[in-house]
Structure 1
Amino acid sequence: MSIVLITGAAGLIGSEAAEFYMREGFTVLGIDNDMRQSFFGAEGSTIWNKERLEKQYPNQYIHFNMDIRHKEGIHQLFAKYKDHIALIIHTAAQPSHDWAAKDPYTDFEVNANGTLNLLEATRIYCPEAVFIFTSTNKVYGDGPNSLSFVEQEHRWELAQDHPYHKGIPEEMSVDSCLHSLFGASKLAADILVQEYGRYFHMKTYSLRCGVLTGSKQAGVALHGFVNYLMKCGITKREYTILGYKGKQVRDVIHSSDVIHAFDCIFRNPVHHGEVYNLGGGRDGNISLLEAIHLCEEITGNPFAYTYVDQPRIGDHIWYVSSLDKFKAHYPNWRQRYTTRQIFEEIYEYNRERWMNEA
C-alpha cells in the first residue's frame, strides 16, 4: 500500500490532490478538522467536500478529524503508517490577512507550529518521503508594490521593458517590507520547509502560490476571491472592492494545474529544499475590475459592488508569478486552464447550489 498524506484534505487544493492520487491508485490519508468554518463561519465550511470524498472513494480515502497543532496526534498517525507514506502534501492553513490580525496566536500556531509538527514527524518516521508545502506569494510582503506601475483603464501594469514584466522571481527579497501577520506566519513555515530540506537533506519543497482556485473552493469574503466573486455574481450579492481603484492584478491558477506541478516534483524530487513561485504567470492573470466584467459576461447578471478607498494592509497592487524557474526544472509541466475557463467552470459547477443557498 502506497500512501499520500494530505493536510487540509477537504479544501480546494487538498481535495484536488486527494482525487488525483486516488485515481493513480494511492491510498489517501486526509487530515482536516474543518477549522475553516471556525475562521469564516458556515459559508467557509468544507464538510460537504469531506463527505463527498468519503462517499466517492470509500476504499481509498481515510479521513482524520485532526488538528495539525496537536503534535502527539500527528506523531501517532505518522508512526502508524510510516512504512507506506510516500508523499506529504501540506495545504492546511489559516489563509486570511484580515483574520490573522484578529488572533495572531492561532494564526502562527496553525501556519508555523503546525508545519513544524509535520516536518518533524516526516523526519522521524518517513524521511525519504517527498514533502510539498503550499506557501504563498505573501512571503514577499508589500515588496512588489515598490515597482514602477503604469495605470491602464482596468489594471495596473509593468512596462514591457521592466525586468519583472514576465513576473516576480524567487530572488525578490522577503526582508524590509510589510507582510501582514498572515504573511509572517507563512514565511516562518516557508523557511522551516527550506531548512529541513537543506539541513536534514530531506525532499522538501515550498511552492509560493498566487491565487489558487477551482470549482470546489469554499470562497468567502476574506479568502478565495475568484470563487467568492463568482458567487456574488450568481446570487447578485454586493461585493466590496478595497483600494487601488479595483485595478489590482492577481495571477490565477487552477487547482488541477497546481496538482500536476506537485506530481512533477513527486516523480522527480531532485532539488531538495527548493522554493518555486507558482501561479498563473503571464498566461493567467487578471485585475479585479477585469474579473468583475468577466463574471458579468458569464452570468449575464449586472455586478453590484461598492468601493472603499483603503486597501488591505500589505496587499499587492500587482502580482504575477514568474514561472521560469519551475519550468526550467520541470519542463514537462504546463498550464491547461485559461482564466476564462476557470471562471466558467466555477460557474457551471456551483451555480445551482449557490442559488439554492441564496
Structure 2
Amino acid sequence: MTARTIFRQLPVLVTGGAGFIGSNIADRLASEGHDVHIFDALSRPGVERNLNWLKSKHGQRIRFTHGDVRDEASLAAAASEAQAVFHMAAQVAVTTSLVTPRDDFDINVRGTLHLLDGLRTSGRRIPVVFASTNKVYGDLADLEFRLEDDRYEAVDPEVRAHGIGEDRPLDFHTPYGCSKGAADQYVLDYARSFGVPAAVIRMSCVYGQRQMGTEDQGWVAHFLIRALEGEEITLYGDGAQVRDILDVSDAVDAYMAAWSNIDRIAGRAFNLGGGPANAISLRQLMRHIAELTGRAPKVSYSDWRAGDQRYFVADTRTIQRELGLGTPRGWHDGVAALADWLVEERALAPVAADPIRIPA
C-alpha cells in the first residue's frame, strides 16, 4: 500500500462539524465514501440534533470529538491525522463579540492559529479550506446606495451588476469582523510563508436545512421559525438592507470544489454568495414568508446594529470560474424548501396551501 493510498484513507476533519454548514459538509463527505472526524464543542443550542442525524445516517463513517479549538493539543492531534480539513468552527455572532470580545478572539483567531500550526508541524501537506465572512469588508460606507422601493441598490453600475469583488479593500469592523478577518489573513499567510495548502471562502448569507437560526445568526431560518410559530420578528434598521442568500447545497459544492482544486488555488480568498440573482431585502423575505405560511409575519423594528451593512452582494464570477460552479439555486425555491424542512424537523404548523401577499 502506497503512502498516497494510506493518506486517502485518513478521515477528513470538519471543525464545527455539528453546526449548520459543517454538518452539511460532513454529510456530503460521508455520502461520497469518506470517513469524517467531527471536532465540535457543541456550544450552539440544537446542534446535537445535527450530530445525531449524521451518526444515524452514516454510522461508523462519523467519528466525533467533543473538543474546543482553544485546546491546542487536542486540535493539533485531530489535524495531524487528517487527510484534509474544513475549518468551520467559530464564534459566529457580531452581537456576542461585542459582549465578550476576548472569547471571540480566542476562538476565532487563537483557535485558527492552533489549527494552522498543527498542520504546519504535522510533516505532511494537509489541505485546509477556511470559512471566512463578508464582514471582512466592513460596512461599505464609502459606497453610495439609494433606496428603491423596498431595498437598497448600489449606485455604482459595476457593483450593481456584479456585487462586491475580492479586490475590495479589507476593513474590519466589530470584534467579530476583526477576529474573522485576522484568521482569514493568517490562513492566507500560512499558505505563503509555510506552504500549507490553504484557501479562504468569504461567505455571504447561507441558509438551508440543518440551520438552527437565531436572532444573532442564521436570520433566514430564524425569520421562518418565528413566523411559523406565530411569534414577532424584529428587524434591525429599516428592513431594506440587501443580502445575496445562498442555499447550503451550493455552499457545500464550493467547499468540495475548493478542496479538489486546492493545489491550484492555495493562498487565495474567494467571495461566495447567491450573487445578484439571489439578492433580496429583509422586506422581500417577509413577503415571501407570508406567501409560504398564509399569514403576514408579526414585525417590529429596532435600531441598526453595530457593523451592519445596508448592502452586501458577493461578486461570484471569480469563484464560479475558478472552481467550475454551477448556477445557484433560486432563493424562492430554496427558502420554500427550508420552510418545509423546518415544519418537519420542529413539528411546526404546516405551510399553507393557498398563499397570500402582504404589501411592502
TM-score, normalised on structure 1?
0.91
Who is 2:341 aligned against? 349
Per-residue CA deviations over 1:83-105 (Å, capped at 9, x if unaligned) read: xx222001111111111111011
Alignment partners' CA distance in 2, 1:64 and 1:262:
22
Please state whether the residue corresponding to 2:30 is helix, strand or coil: helix
Instruction: Return the match for 2:232 from 231, 234, 238.
Output: 238
Please state whether the residue corresponding to 2:182 is helix, strand or coil: helix
Alignment partners' CA distance in 2, 1:356 and 1:297:
17
Alignment partners' CA distance in 1, 2:327 and 2:117:
33
The runs of 5 or more residues in structure 1 that have no matched partner are: 37-43
Per-residue CA deviations over 1:311-357 (Å, capped at 9, x if unaligned) read: 11110000000012112312x21234111122111111111443559
CA distance change for structure 1 residues 192 and 302 in 2, over 3 Å: closer, same or farther?
A: same
Alignment partners' CA distance in 1, 2:123 and 2:295:
52
What displacement does 1:150 show?
1.8
Alignment partners' CA distance in 2, 1:2 and 1:75:
15
Quick check: 2:342–2:348 contact (8 Å CA) kept in 1?
no
Q: Report whether the alignment pairs 1:156 with 2:157.
A: no
Who is 1:194 aligned against? 188
Q: Report whether the alignment pairs 1:50 with 2:51.
A: yes
What displacement does 1:133 show?
0.5
Please state whether the residue corresponding to 2:28 is helix, strand or coil: helix
Q: Report whether the alignment pairs 1:224 with 2:212.
A: no
Who is 1:111 aligned against? 108
Amino acid at match of 1:26: H
Who is 2:266 aligned against? 272
Aligned length: 340
Q: Report whether the alignment pairs 1:180 with 2:209.
A: no
Please state whether the residue corresponding to 1:212 is helix, strand or coil: strand
Quick check: 1:6–1:88 contact (8 Å CA) kept in 2?
yes
Who is 2:141 aligned against? 145
Identity %: 29
Alignment partners' CA distance in 2, 1:350 and 1:126:
44
Q: Report whether the alignment pairs 1:256 with 2:257.
A: no
- Runs of at least 4 residues off by over 4 Å: none
Bigger shift: residues 234-243 or 125-134: 125-134
What displacement does 1:130 show?
1.5
Residue correspondence of structure 1 range 1-358 to structure 2 within 5 A: 1-36=9-44, 44-79=45-80, 81=81, 85-125=82-122, 127-142=124-139, 144-159=140-155, 161-163=157-159, 165-175=161-171, 179-243=173-237, 245-269=238-262, 270-308=264-302, 310-330=303-323, 332-355=324-347
CA distance change for structure 1 residues 50 and 230 in 2, over 3 Å: closer, same or farther?
A: same
Please state whether the residue corresponding to 1:206 is helix, strand or coil: strand
Amino acid at match of 1:317: R
Amino acid at match of 2:240: K
TM-score, normalised on structure 2?
0.91
Per-residue CA deviations over 1:220-239 (Å, capped at 9, x if unaligned) read: 11110000011111111101
Alignment partners' CA distance in 2, 1:8 and 1:346:
21
The runs of 5 or more residues in structure 2 that have no matched partner are: 1-8, 350-360
Alignment partners' CA distance in 2, 1:68 and 1:203:
20
CA distance change for structure 1 residues 129 and 27 in 2, over 3 Å: closer, same or farther?
A: same
Per-residue CA deviations over 1:31-56 (Å, capped at 9, x if unaligned) read: 111112xxxxxxx3301111111121
Amino acid at match of 2:169: S
Alignment partners' CA distance in 2, 1:28 and 1:165:
39
